[in-house]
Amino acid sequence: MFILCKRLFPALFLFLWFTVSHAQGGYELWLNYRKTENPETLEHYRTHLLSVVMDENSETVDAIREELSTGLGLMLDSTVSFISEIPEKNSLVIRKTENLPSGLRNTLKKDIATIENDGFLIRASGNTVIITARKDVGLLYGTFRLLHHLQQGLPLRNLRILDIPKTDIRVLNHWDNLDRTVERGYAGASIWKWHRLPGYIDPRYKDYARANASVGINGTVLTNVNASALVLTPAYIEKVAALAEVFRPYGIKVYLTARFSAPMEIGGLQTADPLDPGVRQWWRDKVDEIYKTIPDFGGFLVKANSEGQPGPQNYGRSHVDGANMMAEAMAPHGGIVMWRAFVYSEHDTTDRAKQAYNEFVPLDGKFMENVLVQVKNGAIDFQPREPFHPMFGAMPHTPLMMEFQMTQEYLGFSTHLVFLPKLYEEVLQSDTYRHGKGSLVARVVDGTLDNKKISGMAGVANIGSDINWTGHPFAQANWYGFGRLAWDPYLSASQIADEWLRLTFTNDNNFIKPVKNIMLESHETVVDYMTPLGLHHIMDTGHHYGPGPWVGNLSRPEWNPVYYHKADTAGIGFDRTPSGSNATAQYAGEVAATFNNVKTCPEKFLLWFHHLPWDYKLQSGNTLWDGLGIRYQEGVNRVREAQKTWAVMEPYVNKQQFEEVRMLLGIQHEEAQWWRDACMLYFQTFSKQPFPEEMETPLHSLEYYRSLKFPYAPGISPQWH
């Protein structure tokens, strides 16, 4: 016995250490199943949910059973029994609509008639709670939703949740390289351990799938859009297949990025011309080979003729030629092609903000049915704030996918607390006016504006090997929020913040209210201390961390911050009205008119669309110069307020997470000051005016800020080679 104890003790200790440190570190994400605190609620849940009727068989049903054993087991602090007969007394029934007993089917028939696709119904009826759906994956989504309901301590009485995803493709984009670096990744290394696959299945893969499925994400593009053709070789396809197997029960398909020149790099061909019969055959064979190994493979994501990536234009062909060639290979298997519209060229001297629209809109209606064009939320590049991309609504015959960024490339990496669903909401709720008032971007994305057959939303992942997955504990909320909005682009950021806080930390309103406030203000805060009043792309070169408004020596003009702010002694801002680049003409008339008129242009986009004198009067009555300084200061002030709020939150979160957020807010505060001082000192060289009295005196000189260098900033893999 003693010997056994001696042997077991270190193992037990290790296990406990691992479990505790993971729990403390936020590994569980929002699937943090805590025992239900309120004794009445606990009793109420126990009465209804401890017998679970589940008699269907599939990998997905097994995953549901496992999730319920863990989730209900922990929240109800009891063991769940799974049975196959519906008992007289209380139970939770999980069955597809076709397998419900006729009595129940009859009672629920109105709701059942409206369940489509991956949707589900949760209903409390008599002494049972029912989760039903057309497909197994719908049952899985319903199960997670019920678990989330319980995590929030909400009542079961009269429960009725009927929810159907509004988009078809809800997909993460990993910018993960095969060497496990992550382009614009700030949460450690890639979670894909390519060198160990397919033999070694890291437990994280399943937890990743659980987290995604719990918010309805149904696909993942495993590799960087700056793609390596190697991932299409047999050895890697086998590794991809191993991941696909882990994800399959959770309704998650795998996709890969396809390097356009792959037929030459790994196929030995002399060309990658999309009209060349040999090249077309190569792609058909390659796709057949992939489907042989991964029968439910999702398809390809392609970055072509963008930032040096190869593409059809290398052969004088168009995006349509390239995308349709791959789509043709995919079609017999039901696969899709997501073709990115993030293009701008060093040979095109027009405003960068106009180039994607100019290249793609004339191609509307020419893509095959299984092609989606994937468009970033704004026309430049994931800036802290951008007006919605003018392509949304401008291609009525082509499905357009939204591409949001969860990783915080231009947003303080995973050091700054920024709740991105606020940004997503602002974009999705923007009105394109393409079919009159109410033509929201959300309606373009869900396909209802022009009756699209397929729709989708992509999110550039912020996930890495850090214990808490996302680096900043609050960056998990961006992953959660992306998933929720991909499922339903009309959800409010406020609801999402509320849910995420409750699932992740506690239901105590003394915590929820103030911390939710920090989250909801955080986007405006970061905009204020980085790029207020419509400024954009003034980050330092390459790593995009910290301010670099002075940078003007890069080889391509549109890579330089000076190209975007155009500060001079007369004023500041990019004139995109008809007197300037006329980018506003790419929007519907109503929108263009609003942006063109400096009096109606929302001040948040003022310097995006207008070059204005330093003494221009803002709505507040302040001059533009003073208003700019006041905004920068307000951003700093709000980080200070967030610090104060967080300082009294220790009782509600675990020690480790409390400390992590406290320290990160400290850095964010210092860096908000850095942004304010560096930008205002630099712009002062043009405005030649004193700082407004509301603004604190800069802590250092402009020379000091200009001298700062960050050669090893994370996220830019080429520098490490």
Report the catalytic residues.
Answer: 307, 381, 409
Q: Which two tokens stand for residue 657?
A: 């997470």
d(CA 531, CA 608): 10
How open is the CA angle 386-390-392, to the nearest 5 degrees?
A: 105
User: Applying CB under 6 A, does 225 fall inside the site for ligand GCV?
Assistant: yes
Residues 469-498 that bind ligand GCV (CB under 6 A): none
d(CA 161, CA 390): 35
User: Applying CB under 6 A, does 350 fall inside the site for ligand GCV?
Assistant: no
Q: Max Cα separation, the chain?
A: 87
d(CA 487, CA 294): 25
Q: Measured from the CB atom, is 39 or 711 closer to ligand GCV?
A: 711
What one-letter code names the amino acid at 265? E
User: Applying CB under 6 A, does 537 fall inside the site for ligand GCV?
Assistant: no
C-alpha distance from residue 618 to each of 359, 588, 593, 603, 632 (Å): 36, 26, 19, 8, 15
User: Applying CB under 6 A, does 564 fall inside the site for ligand GCV?
Assistant: no
301, 340 in Cβ contact below 8 A? Answer: yes
Q: Which two tokens stand for residue 96?
A: 């597809």
User: Applying CB under 6 A, does 345 fall inside the site for ligand GCV?
Assistant: no
Number of neighbours of residue 168 by Cβ within 10 angstroms: 22
- Shortest approach of ligand GCV to residue 356 CB, angstroms? 11
Q: Measured from the CB atom, is 381 or 524 closer to ligand GCV?
A: 381
User: Applying CB under 6 A, does 175 fall inside the site for ligand GCV?
Assistant: yes
Site for ligand GCV (CB under 6 A): which residue of 48, 123, 148, 184?
184
Residue 522, φ and ψ in degrees, nearest 5:
-65, -35
SS3 608: helix
User: Applying CB under 6 A, does 539 fall inside the site for ligand GCV?
Assistant: no
- Shortest approach of ligand GCV to residue 542 CB, angstroms? 8
User: Applying CB under 6 A, does 303 fall inside the site for ligand GCV?
Assistant: yes
User: Applying CB under 6 A, does 319 fall inside the site for ligand GCV?
Assistant: no
Q: Measured from the CB atom, is 61 or 400 closer to ligand GCV?
A: 400
280, 274 in Cβ contact below 8 A? Answer: yes
Residues contacting ligand GCV: total by CB under 6 A: 10
Q: Measured from the CB atom, is 398 or 407 closer to ligand GCV?
A: 407
Q: Measured from the CB atom, is 342 or 388 closer to ligand GCV?
A: 342
Query: x/- contact string, 323-342, with ligand GCV (CB under 6 A)?
Result: -------------------x
Beta bridge partners of 623: 617
Beta bridge partners of 720: none
Closest CA to 624 of 535, 564, 524: 535
- Shortest approach of ligand GCV to residue 536 CB, angstroms? 13
- Shortest approach of ligand GCV to residue 110 CB, angstroms? 45
Residues 351-372 as b/e (b if ≥16 CB within 10 A, e otherwise) read bbbbbbbebbeebbeebbebbb
- Shortest approach of ligand GCV to residue 175 CB, angstroms? 5
264, 227 in Cβ contact below 8 A? Answer: no
Q: End-to-end distance of the chain based on CA atoms, in angstroms?
A: 54
* Strand pairing category for 160-163 and 120-125: antiparallel
C-alpha distance from residue 716 to each of 420, 607, 713 (Å): 22, 29, 7
Q: Measured from the CB atom, is 184 or 638 closer to ligand GCV?
A: 184
User: Applying CB under 6 A, does 381 fall inside the site for ligand GCV?
Assistant: yes
Closest CA to 672 of 415, 407, 424, 406: 415
Q: Measured from the CB atom, is 175 or 367 closer to ligand GCV?
A: 175
Site for ligand GCV (CB under 6 A): which residue of 136, 163, 183, 677?
183
- Shortest approach of ligand GCV to residue 326 CB, angstroms? 18
- Shortest approach of ligand GCV to residue 223 CB, angstroms? 11
Q: Measured from the CB atom, is 344 or 433 closer to ligand GCV?
A: 344
SS3 273: coil
Which residues make Cβ contacts (< 8 Å) with residue 590, sequence separation at least 6? 433, 437
Residues 226-265 that bind ligand GCV (CB under 6 A): 226
- Shortest approach of ligand GCV to residue 264 CB, angstroms? 21
Q: Measured from the CB atom, is 183 or 328 closer to ligand GCV?
A: 183
Query: x/- contact string, 389-428, with ligand GCV (CB under 6 A)?
Result: --------------------x-------------------
- Shortest approach of ligand GCV to residue 492 CB, angstroms? 27
Residues that bind ligand GCV (CB under 6 A): 175, 183-184, 225-226, 303, 307, 342, 381, 409
